[in-house]
Chain A
Amino acid sequence: MANKEIDRLFKAKISFHNELAKMSFEKKIEILVQLQRMANGIQAFSTKQKKRRQKIWEI
Chain B
Amino acid sequence: MQKTIKVIDGLQKEGVIKEYAIAGGVAAIFYVEPILTYDLDIFFIPPKEEKIITLSPIYKWLKQNGYEAHKEHIIIEGVPVQFIPVYNELVKAAVIDAAKISYKDAKTKVIKAEYLLAIMLQTFRPKDKERIVKLLDEAKLNMTRLLKILKKHDLDEKFKRFKDLYYGK
Contacts and interface: CB of A to CB of B under 8 A. Distances in A.
Nearest to B108: A25
Contacts of B138: 17-18, 21
Contact of A25 (B29, B38, B77, B80): B29
Interface string A12-47: 001001101101011011011001100100000000
- The residue among A21, A29, A32 with the most chain B CB atoms within 10 A of its own CB is A21
Nearest to B31: A21
B77 A59 contact: yes
A14 B138 CA distance: 9
A29 B33 CA distance: 10
B34 interface: yes
A50 B34 CA distance: 24
Nearest to B103: A25
Interface string B29-45: 11111111110000000
B42 to A, nearest CB: 15
Contact of A36 (B1, B33, B38): B38
Interface of B: 1, 3-4, 26, 29-38, 70, 75, 77-80, 101, 103-104, 137-139
6 contacts: A14-B137, A23-B33, A25-B103, A32-B29, A35-B35, A57-B1
